[in-house]
Amino acid sequence: MQDLARAAGMSVGNFYRYFPSKAAIVEAMVGLDLAEIQGDFAEILVSDDPLGRLREKILARLTEDCMGDGGLWAEITAAAIRKPEIGVAALQMERTVVTHMAEVFARVTGRSMDDVQQRYAGHSQMLVMLVKAVAMRTSQCGPASPALAAMVVRTIDLIMKDISNDIPKG
């Protein structure tokens, strides 16, 4: 609990004053993150270039939010492995993000949500994993080297290209 409190910049006592359990704390943190993410996806969906806007948002998250979010995500991930109720909250967040990405991919490709969810599940999961991994690494090791940063961007671009090049014919 101390690691989670430290990562959030609070004392353990303050946490327990407002929340009955560690799971409740994580659920609240995930809820705050989800509210911000849902706002981002609402903006992305109305954009003239949803895939380009998604890319911009992902890159912004990698550069702006990594230092603060990485330590917190590392603690949440560790707690999720030990406590199933925390794992449920963390998994729900990832599923929500993956669903929002599917909405973007459906808009871009003209495919149905069912088709998009089957076709691009790995793409979405990879993007989520990449953002979390970069954030956690940055909190531990500092900013990525130019070579690593370029590789991350290249991977994101490859994923986006897979989707933009997969528009149904006819």
- Helix orientation angle between 121-141 and 66-82, rounded to the nearest 10 degrees: 110
Q: What confidence score (pLDDT) does residue 36 get?
A: 86
Q: Kindly report, residue by residue over 116-158, the tens digit of the pLDDT.
A: 999 999 999 999 999 999 999 998 898 899 999 999 999 999 9
Q: Kindly report, residue by residue over 85-125, the tens digit of the pLDDT.
A: 888 888 988 999 999 999 999 999 999 999 999 999 999 99
- Helix orientation angle between 84-109 and 66-82, rounded to the nearest 10 degrees: 120
Do 62 and 152 form a contact (C-beta atoms < 8 A)?
A: yes
Check pLDDT > 80 for residue 69.
no
How many other C-beta atoms can be found within 10 angstroms of the C-beta atom of residue 124? Answer: 23
Q: What confidence score (pLDDT) does residue 128 get?
A: 96
Q: Which amino acid is residue 109, in one-letter code?
A: T
Do 44 and 57 form a contact (C-beta atoms < 8 A)?
A: yes
Q: Which amino acid is residue 105, in one-letter code?
A: F
Q: What's the predicted TM-score (pTM) here?
A: 0.86
Quote the CA–CA distance of 152 and 155 in Å, as a whole number. 5
Q: What confidence score (pLDDT) does residue 2 get?
A: 67
Alpha helices per DSSP H over 21-170: 22-46, 50-64, 66-82, 84-109, 113-119, 121-141, 146-164
143-157 as b/e, with b when 16 or more CB fall inside 10 Å? Answer: ebeeeeeeebeeebe
